């Protein structure tokens, strides 16, 4: 169902790689809700991925840009304002990558050059994007900027590695810049902390399928999928959330507030079966 929530608005969507990408779903819904958008990803991702097909389908220009490169970002905002015919009303940062995770470097044996890359791509790019937009005065009054985060910013989860540090920084940038951009231009900046989702980036996390199953059993509403995440992004881009800023907004079926659910406890207890004695008591140690 469409509500025309973004009628007449202009947006830039970073990070659609293929139809599993959260950004892909956000782009589709933004256009369905009446927005005009440009799509962007790294030159390599534009060549190798499927974003060009999305551009064709949505009649949206695809502008290759590396989100860690200030010149690329300046070109992207200038071109988008020109193509869309005015200042930008909403921006989605849907970018994450850890070369340490890719190279299977564990958290207690990180390569620090790779850590710098993780931080630059997954967190500092958010600052670079906002700073570039502000200097160019490319975002309209009351605009909305969203980045996607994960609960590993607050809690330690097996296998998330240096991406946890990147997400903590990403959420902090939303607060620090949210104050300045809000005060000066009424621009909102928030992060949405999404359930584990099976995408290209998501499948890089060690034990992702088990993590998704655990989170699903733990959350009273179950895991949120990419489509549902896109719905939340649309509401946050719309005029219905004009006074929401500097927040990390959990979109995780309740996971972040849970300690233990019956379903998760049940499953957890089953794992002890092989450690029970003949009377059914758990053998500890």
Stretch that binds ligand NAD, among 21-29, 79-87, 238-246, 254-262 (CB under 6 A): 21-29
Binding mask 116-155 for ligand NAD (x = CB under 6 A): -----x--------------------------xxx-----
Question: Residue 58 CB, nearest distance to ligand NAD (Å)?
Answer: 16
Q: Which of 254, 68, 258, 250 is nearest to 148 (CA)?
A: 250
Question: Residue 121 CB, nearest distance to ligand NAD (Å)?
Answer: 5
Of the candidates 60, 94, 118, 190, which one interacts with ligand NAD according to CB under 6 A? Answer: 94
User: Per CB under 6 A, does 42 bind ligand NAD?
Assistant: yes
User: Per CB under 6 A, does 115 bind ligand NAD?
Assistant: no
Our CB check for ligand NAD shows the closer of 5 and 201 to be: 201
Our CB check for ligand NAD shows the closer of 150 and 181 to be: 150
CB 124 within 8 A of CB 93: no
Q: Tokens 């359930």 sit at which residue?
A: 195
Of the candidates 5, 38, 39, 41, which one interacts with ligand NAD according to CB under 6 A? Answer: 41
User: Per CB under 6 A, does 223 bind ligand NAD?
Assistant: no
- Sheet with strand 248-251: strands edge to edge: 62-64, 36-41, 10-14, 88-93, 139-149, 188-194, 248-251
As a whole number of angstroms, the distance between CA 224 and CA 228 comes to 6
User: Per CB under 6 A, does 21 bind ligand NAD?
Assistant: yes
Q: Which of the residues 50 through 79 are near ligand NAD (CB under 6 A)? A: 66-68
As a whole number of angstroms, the distance between CA 61 and CA 25 comes to 16
Of the candidates 37, 95, 115, 218, which one interacts with ligand NAD according to CB under 6 A? Answer: 95
Q: Which of the residues 260 through 279 are near ligand NAD (CB under 6 A)? A: none
Question: Residue 193 CB, nearest distance to ligand NAD (Å)?
Answer: 7
User: Per CB under 6 A, does 165 bind ligand NAD?
Assistant: no
Of the candidates 13, 45, 133, 153, which one interacts with ligand NAD according to CB under 6 A? Answer: 45
As a whole number of angstroms, the distance between CA 245 and CA 243 comes to 6
Our CB check for ligand NAD shows the closer of 80 and 94 to be: 94
User: Per CB under 6 A, does 197 bind ligand NAD?
Assistant: yes
Residues near ligand NAD (CB under 6 A) are 14-15, 17, 21-23, 41-42, 45, 66-68, 94-97, 121, 148-150, 194, 196-197, 199-202
């Amino acid at each position: 169902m469409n509500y025309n929530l973004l009628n007449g608005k202009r947006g830039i969507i970073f990070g659609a790689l293929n139809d599993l990408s959260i950004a892909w779903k956000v782009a589709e819904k933004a256009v369905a809700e009446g927005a005009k958008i440009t799509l962007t990803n790294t030159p390599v991702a534009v060549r190798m991925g499927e974003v060009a097909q999305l551009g064709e389908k949505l009649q949206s220009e695809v502008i290759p840009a590396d989100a860690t490169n200030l010149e690329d970002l300046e070109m992207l905002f200038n071109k988008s304002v020109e193509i869309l015919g005015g200042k930008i009303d909403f921006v989605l940062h849907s970018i994450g990558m850890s070369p340490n995770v890719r190279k299977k470097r564990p958290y207690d044996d990180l390569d620090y050059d790779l850590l710098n890359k993780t931080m630059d791509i997954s967190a500092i790019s958010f600052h670079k994007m906002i700073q570039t937009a502000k200097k160019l005065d490319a975002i309209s009054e009351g605009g909305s900027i969203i980045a996607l985060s994960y609960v590993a910013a607050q809690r330690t989860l097996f296998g998330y590695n240096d991406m946890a540090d990147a997400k903590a920084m990403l959420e902090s940038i939303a607060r620090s810049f949210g104050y300045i951009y809000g005060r000066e231009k009424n621009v909102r900046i928030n992060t949405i902390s999404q359930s584990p989702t099976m995408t290209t980036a998501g499948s890089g996390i060690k034990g992702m399928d088990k993590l998704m199953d655990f989170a699903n059993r733990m959350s009273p509403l179950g895991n949120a999928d990419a489509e549902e995440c896109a719905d939340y992004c649309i509401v946050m881009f719309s005029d219905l959330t004009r006074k929401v800023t500097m927040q990390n907004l959990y979109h995780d079926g309740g996971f972040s507030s849970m300690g233990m659910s019956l379903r998760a406890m049940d499953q957890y207890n089953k794992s002890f079966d092989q450690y029970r004695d003949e009377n059914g008591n758990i053998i500890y140690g």
